[in-house]
Structure 1
Amino acid sequence: MTREEALEHFKKEYCDKYFLDMDKKIAAFIKENEEKLLLEFMGNFRNLCLKVKEMQDKGLTPKIAYITYSFGIDNINGESQEYEVQAYGKEWFFEDSEECKIPYDVRWLYSFMEETYKELSDISKKYIGQITKGDLAAVRKVGVLRCDISLVKFAKIAIEKAVGIDEFKLIEKEEVFEIRIGEYKGFNEIIYKEDIRKKDSKEIVAWLEGKNGTYSYEILRELDLSGGDYEKLTMHHADLSKCDLSNANFEDASLIGTKFIAAKIDNTNFKNAVLAESNFNSTAIKNSNFQGSSLRASDLSNTKIDGCNLQNVNFSKSKLSNCIIKNANLENVKFVFTCLENSDLSGQDLRNSRFSIANLKGANLSDTDLRGVEFAKVDLTQTNLDNAKFGQNKIIELKILAKDAAKLNVTEEQKKELIIVN
């Protein structure tokens, strides 16, 4: 085996798998310890804000335009397990004011990387000198970068809570303010943005219709964007809360992570749009087309959806608790790991849809057409199924009341998959 072959084998057979396993361990740790980690993050953010306010009061630092969470060469070389959290004015790296920064301890995160790196370092010895120190340094950098990706996911959640503290509200900020995370003086990603500049609706419509590249974290609240042609627009993590989007065309648009809270959505076209991780919480949606769109991991809690085409929509991992859907087409919809607790889908056409590991506690599916629907690892014992139509259903580990099980037209083989409760 040549050195090139050895390196390729090492990366493919070990590095990729071990780092994937590391990512899963980090995600599980964050989920299990989320409250503690959030408190630590917010405490660190509070300390930065206090330092900023103190320096501003002394005239040592200007209005803040950026706060960055950065890793650098020390992290890659294994000499640091801290991110540098620094506040800047609008000149960013080029300003002359006194540095305003504090460390953010990420040992809880890097412990997973160090363990993985050690395991890979030990495995590399099997290649009898063909994996060099330089190769292992590159492996460590991959680990740091993957840790950064995990931290970004966590920080996006944490920062939404952190910016609500009084200490943050007291610091002086520029009209456009961003919080970023990533490599020091390298690639970094926005995780929070404020923009209080006054905007003209007509100018914004023309700007968006121009589709000049990708827009990220644009703050476009309370604007009249109705009737605009935004087909194939790419705009991620934008805030369109309280905007008038009636009669607008977003067909084939990519709107990942966008907020539509309390927006006017009437006769709006979202056909085949990518709306993953979007937020429609408590929004009324009328007469709109979502056919073929992806709403994975989105929040539609407390929404009222009336007269909409939801055919072939993907609601996997989304929240639809207390959601009311009326006069809609719900054929061939994916409800995989979806929360439908206390939702009202009564009277709807749900043919050929899929409920897999979905939460249907308190949901109303009365008078629905459930023919051809797949039920996999679902509990329907607290679901209203009055007058629901069943037929040709695919069933895997379905828990159901005896009175409702009688409505099912199942084979002897399928009966084995039923958990019937009296």
Structure 2
Amino acid sequence: MMKDEALQHLHDQVFLPALAERVAAVQLFFHQHQAQLVDEFVESFRQIASRIKVMQDRGELAPVGFIHYSMLRTSILEGTYTYLIEAYTDQWYWEPVECYARYDANWAFQEISSLIRLLDEHRKKYIGVLHTADVEHMVWKRLDCFSQMVTDLIRIAIQEAIKLPEYSEINKAKCLRIRVGEFKDFSEDVHIDDGSTRDQIKGAG
């Protein structure tokens, strides 16, 4: 069997069913533990907001225009499942000051290691045609199935996070965008904080 045929066979016969099973397991975990997961996310947001405040009090950071949660693919394949949280001025990636914290997304990627192990066992049946790197690449291409659940959680939890006193105390740019995505790659807004949203929060308080 040629490599392309072996890859397609492994993908269709083993990977797709196993992926569906593991995504369903994480979705179930998400729904069963949503309140706890929201609390854990809010705590990560408290940490970055506190870090911002400390740096601003020292005169090291201008008003913040972006808070970005970044999935680190290499970190996930290494089994650490960490998102990098970074704060920037409205200059975004061109901001030289480093202001960051970490978010543990183990809950969303907890099935990745078992999926890789399963595929690695099956790829040995192809007698030297496939390698571990082929298996990892197969999983790598579908990490969005798991990272999307992190984005879904953040969309829910951010409504609680922006009520934190630590967040209200930081100096914000005219428009502050809270985003989630990949490190210096595609990302999306989960909350846009401008004058109108701040007035709504104050009114609710």
TM-score by length of 1: 0.45
Do the aligned residues in 2 keep the contact of 1:67 with 1:87 (CA within 8 Å)?
yes
Mapped to 2, the partners of 1:103 and 1:185 lie a distance apart of 16
Residue 25 of structure 1 pairs with residue 22 of structure 2: no
CA-CA distance at 1:196 after TM superposition:
2.7
Q: Deviations over 1:304-325 (max 9, x none)?
A: xxxxxxxxxxxxxxxxxxxxxx
Do the aligned residues in 2 keep the contact of 1:76 with 1:140 (CA within 8 Å)?
no
Mapped to 2, the partners of 1:130 and 1:155 lie a distance apart of 41
Residue 110 of structure 1 pairs with residue 74 of structure 2: no
Report which of the two has the higher share of helix: 2
Q: Deviations over 1:153-190 (max 9, x none)?
A: 11111112111111111111111111111110111121
What does residue range 55-204 of structure 1 map to in structure 2 within 5 Å?
55-78=55-78, 80-97=80-97, 99-196=98-195
Distance 1:76 1:42, change over 3 A: closer
Q: Which residue of 2 aligns with 1:412?
A: none
- AA paired with 1:162? A
Gapped runs of 5+ residues in structure 2?
198-205
CA-CA distance at 1:139 after TM superposition:
2.2
CA-CA distance at 1:136 after TM superposition:
1.6
Q: Which residue of 1 aligns with 2:39?
A: 39
Mapped to 2, the partners of 1:37 and 1:72 lie a distance apart of 19
Residue 48 of structure 1 pairs with residue 51 of structure 2: no
Percent pairwise identity: 26
Structure exhibiting the larger radius of gyration computed from Cα positions: 1
- For residue 62 of structure 2, give the secondary structure of its aligned residue in structure 1: coil
Q: Deviations over 1:354-408 (max 9, x none)?
A: xxxxxxxxxxxxxxxxxxxxxxxxxxxxxxxxxxxxxxxxxxxxxxxxxxxxxxx
Higher relative CO (Cα under 8 Å, sequence separation at least 6) belongs to 2
- For residue 59 of structure 1, give the secondary structure of its aligned residue in structure 2: coil
- AA paired with 2:135? L
Mapped to 2, the partners of 1:35 and 1:136 lie a distance apart of 34
TM-score by length of 2: 0.89
- AA paired with 2:104? D
Do the aligned residues in 2 keep the contact of 1:10 with 1:124 (CA within 8 Å)?
yes
Mapped to 1, the partners of 2:76 and 2:114 lie a distance apart of 15
- For residue 143 of structure 2, give the secondary structure of its aligned residue in structure 1: helix
- AA paired with 1:58? R
- For residue 10 of structure 1, give the secondary structure of its aligned residue in structure 2: helix
Gapped runs of 5+ residues in structure 1?
198-218, 220-422
Q: Deviations over 1:107-149 (max 9, x none)?
A: 2222211122212222222222222233122123135332211
Do the aligned residues in 1 keep the contact of 2:179 with 2:188 (CA within 8 Å)?
yes
